[in-house]
Structures are given as structure tokens and as C-alpha cells.
Amino acid sequence: MNAEKRLKEKLMLALEPTRLDVINESALHAGHRSSPGTGESHFRILVVSDRFSGLTRVARHRLVNDALADELSGRIHALALTTLTPDEPMPEQ
């Protein structure tokens, strides 16, 4: 299973999101000194979940990082996270 599918599967189980976008941005970082060159190292993730209600941004990010601990200790080099509750407005793109 590729990294994107593993990330999605783990976040679906851990956070039961109403929306989950996992975007592989590894190609944008190809050739960077710390990039492992696997094509599966940098991801942008948007998670909308009721589980974030009442939590600070740091606490929300910790939930995501805990759910993805195995991936973060291996092939995944960087995550850009947006963590929202269903009541919060989506960021402008």
C-alpha cells in the first residue's frame, strides 16, 4: 500500500473525519538535501473532524501526529496540516 493510502486509512480510523484530503507534494521537494527521494515524503493534509472540538491547534496536530507515528518515523519527512471542526470555515485557497 502506498503512503497516501496508509495516511488516509489511519486518519479515517483515528479521527472519523467528515472531510479528508491527502495531497502528495513530494515532487515539489525533489532534490532537497533532506528529501529521501522516494516520491512519498511530503504531504499536505486537510482534516475536518468533530474530534477537534475544543482543542487548540497544537492539540489537534498532536492527534494527527499520534495517528501517523509509524509513518512519521520512517518514510514521511514533512506534513503540512490544516485541522478543522465541521463548524469552522474552510481556508481560502
pTM of the shown model:
0.84
pLDDT profile of the chain (93 residues), mean per 10: 90 98 77 54 93 98 96 84 96 76
Do residues 83 and 57 lie in contact, with contact meaning Cβ atoms separated by under 8 Å? yes
The Cα-based distances of 83 to 31, 90, 92 in angstroms read 29, 10, 14
Position 66 scores a pLDDT of 97
Show Cβ contacts of residue 39 under 8 Å, excluding neighbours closer than 6 positions.
Answer: 24, 26, 27, 30
